[in-house]
């Protein structure tokens, strides 16, 4: 894992490989995501917004 040059484990350090092998997943993931910038998750409304207008139709007046 620490010697991988491509794929999922390409960025693993020897410490990360040690933690993964001996089951210390908390330490593994702490180091794995330490250098990556935190990205905000989009809310469901923000994901659906670009396509929301497609379901709208002009209003029809109802006569009474």
For 8-45, the pLDDT digits (tens) are 788 888 898 899 999 999 999 898 888 666 666 667 77
In angstroms, how far is the first alpha carbon of the chain from the final one? 73
The pTM of this model reads 0.47
Residue with tokens 């006569």: 63
For the record, the structure tokens of 28 come out as 């593994």
Provide the 3-class DSSP secondary structure of residue 45: helix
* In the chain, beta strands by DSSP E: none
Calculate Rg over the CA atoms of the chain: 24
């Amino acid at each position: 894992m620490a010697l991988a040059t491509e794929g999922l484990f390409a960025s693993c350090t020897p410490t990360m490989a040690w933690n993964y092998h001996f089951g210390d997943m908390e330490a593994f993931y702490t180091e794995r995501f330490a250098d990556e910038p935190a990205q905000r998750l989009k809310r469901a409304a923000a994901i659906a917004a670009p396509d929301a207008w497609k379901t709208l139709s002009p209003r029809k007046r109802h006569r009474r």
